[in-house]
């Protein structure tokens, strides 16, 4: 059995240089994003956080978390659990809010409509005990608006929500809803989006704007996280246009992200392409177009661009 593979790399000052270089590289390569003159410039400090909070507030956010699949989930020894986040735990724990994208179901329910007998499974199921692992690692909120959250149907999805709530992790991305966390006296609104009809959809900019505006009215700071866009090395550079992958409409990530800022978001965090994408500063607010794979076991490529990841922070 393969050992769990952490895609996370060391951070610190070198990380910030690397992530900023990615932002400039992605924008200087002829994509439509290069038309945004302010994209490669540093965004100003989020003043609203400083005004409403009595102390500095630190947010961390990562990309996709794939902690197992239908072949491996029941055979992963508990002693391996610490290997997932051991090298990066300090960066995720020593923050006020840590957000990621949970790409699968925390459930013991085993029925899935996806093909699982081919030797490679894209039905992602994780042991329910991982809810505590995620909490102990530092995660305070997880997005479930993605294309694998319902790999094990409504039952698996319901189990995921219940397991996260029992671990005191906020569930982000339920249709028509947003989560609100109290952080040092600051109300942080978290709104999650995917590209399926049972989710808040990146394709529906009008509905997205309304939900974000609702969150804004009840929050001091709004974080929008979304799962969308095509996948793989070919998807690193993308323009301001709709993206189709495997016949699915996965939205226009650029148009959505900018519309989210226009509707009131203070920060936009993207994931889904499984590769790093550019960082953009739009209307003085940061957009992380994709943070790539963060951690995974089995099935995920770690070749080429997919081997790179990042921890974002404000």
Per-residue pLDDT band for 277 (boundaries 50, 70, 90) equals: confident
pLDDT digits (tens, 9 = 90+) for 92-128: 888 899 999 999 999 999 888 776 665 566 788 889 9
pLDDT digits (tens, 9 = 90+) for 250-262: 899 999 999 999 9
Residue 50 forms part of a structural domain: yes
Residue 95 forms part of a structural domain: no
Read out DSSP for 78-144?
A: GGGGGGTTTTTHHHHHSSSEEEEEE-SEE-S----SS---SS-----EE-TTHHHHHHHHT--EEE-
In the chain, the number of structural domains is 1
Residue 205 forms part of a structural domain: yes
CA dihedral over 262, 205, 281, 44, signed as positive or negative: positive
Residue 292 forms part of a structural domain: yes
1 vs 119, residue with greater confidence: 119
- Residue 295: its pLDDT value, please? 80
- Residue 241: its pLDDT value, please? 83
Can you tell me the mean pLDDT for 142-159?
Answer: 95
Structural domain of 251: 5-68+170-313
Cα dihedral 126, 103, 130, 125, rounded to 10, equals -10
Can you tell me the mean pLDDT for 275-302?
Answer: 82
Q: Residues 294, 309: contact at Cβ < 8 Å? A: yes
- Residue 88: its pLDDT value, please? 81
pTM above 0.85, yes or no: no
User: Whole-angstrom Cα distance, residue 229 to residue 202?
Assistant: 10
- CA neighbor of 225 nearest in space, from 193, 264, 179: 193
Q: Residues 40, 247: contact at Cβ < 8 Å? A: no
- Residue 35: its pLDDT value, please? 36
Can you tell me the mean pLDDT for 264-275?
Answer: 91
Per-residue pLDDT band for 15 (boundaries 50, 70, 90) equals: very low
User: Whole-angstrom Cα distance, residue 189 to residue 202?
Assistant: 18
Q: Residues 258, 178: contact at Cβ < 8 Å? A: no
- Residue 311: its pLDDT value, please? 62
Residue 202 forms part of a structural domain: yes
User: Whole-angstrom Cα distance, residue 145 to residue 131?
Assistant: 17
Residue 115 forms part of a structural domain: no
Using the structure block, give the residue that is written with the tokens 């509707």. Answer: 263
Can you tell me the mean pLDDT for 235-263?
Answer: 89
State yes or no: pLDDT of 213 exceeds 60: yes
Residue 188 forms part of a structural domain: yes
Q: Residues 65, 105: contact at Cβ < 8 Å? A: no
Per-residue pLDDT band for 149 (boundaries 50, 70, 90) equals: very high
- Residue 257: its pLDDT value, please? 97
Q: In this structure, how many other beta carbons lie within 10 angstroms of the beta carbon of residue 78? A: 9
Q: Which of 17-21, 159-163, 274-278 has the lowest average pLDDT?
A: 17-21
10 vs 213, residue with greater confidence: 213
Residue 111 forms part of a structural domain: no
Q: Residues 63, 102: contact at Cβ < 8 Å? A: no
Q: Which residues pair with 187 in a beta bridge?
A: 182
- Residue 9: its pLDDT value, please? 33
């Amino acid at each position: 059995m393969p050992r769990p593979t952490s895609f996370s790399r060391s951070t610190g000052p070198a990380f910030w240089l690397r992530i900023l270089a990615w932002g400039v590289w992605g924008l200087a390569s002829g994509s439509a994003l290069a038309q945004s003159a302010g994209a490669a410039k540093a965004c100003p400090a989020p003043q609203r956080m400083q005004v409403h909070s009595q102390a500095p507030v630190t947010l961390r956010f990562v990309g996709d978390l794939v902690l197992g699949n239908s072949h491996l989930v029941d055979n992963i020894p508990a002693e391996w659990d610490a290997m997932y986040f051991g090298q990066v735990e300090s960066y995720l724990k020593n923050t006020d809010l840590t957000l990621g994208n949970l790409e699968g179901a925390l459930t013991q329910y085993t029925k899935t409509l996806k093909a699982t007998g081919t030797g490679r499974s894209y039905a992602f199921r994780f042991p329910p005990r991982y809810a505590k692992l995620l909490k102990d690692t530092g995660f305070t909120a997880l997005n479930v608006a993605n294309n694998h959250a319902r790999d094990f149907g409504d039952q698996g999805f319901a189990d995921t929500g219940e397991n996260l709530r029992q671990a005191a992790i906020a569930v982000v991305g339920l249709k028509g809803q947003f989560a609100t966390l109290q952080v040092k006296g600051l109300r942080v609104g978290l709104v999650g989006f995917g590209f399926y009809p049972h989710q808040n959809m990146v394709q529906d900019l009008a509905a997205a704007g309304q939900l974000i505006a609702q969150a804004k009215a009840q929050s001091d700071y709004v974080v929008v996280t979304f799962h969308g866009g095509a996948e793989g090395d070919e998807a690193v550079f993308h323009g301001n246009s709709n993206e189709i992958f495997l016949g699915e409409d996965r939205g226009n990530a650029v148009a959505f992200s900018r519309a989210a800022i226009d509707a009131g978001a203070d920060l936009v965090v993207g994931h889904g392409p499984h590769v790093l994408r550019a960082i953009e500063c739009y209307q003085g607010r940061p957009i992380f177009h994709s943070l790539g794979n963060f951690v995974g076991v089995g099935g995920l490529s770690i070749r080429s661009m997919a081997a790179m990841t990042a921890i974002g922070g404000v």
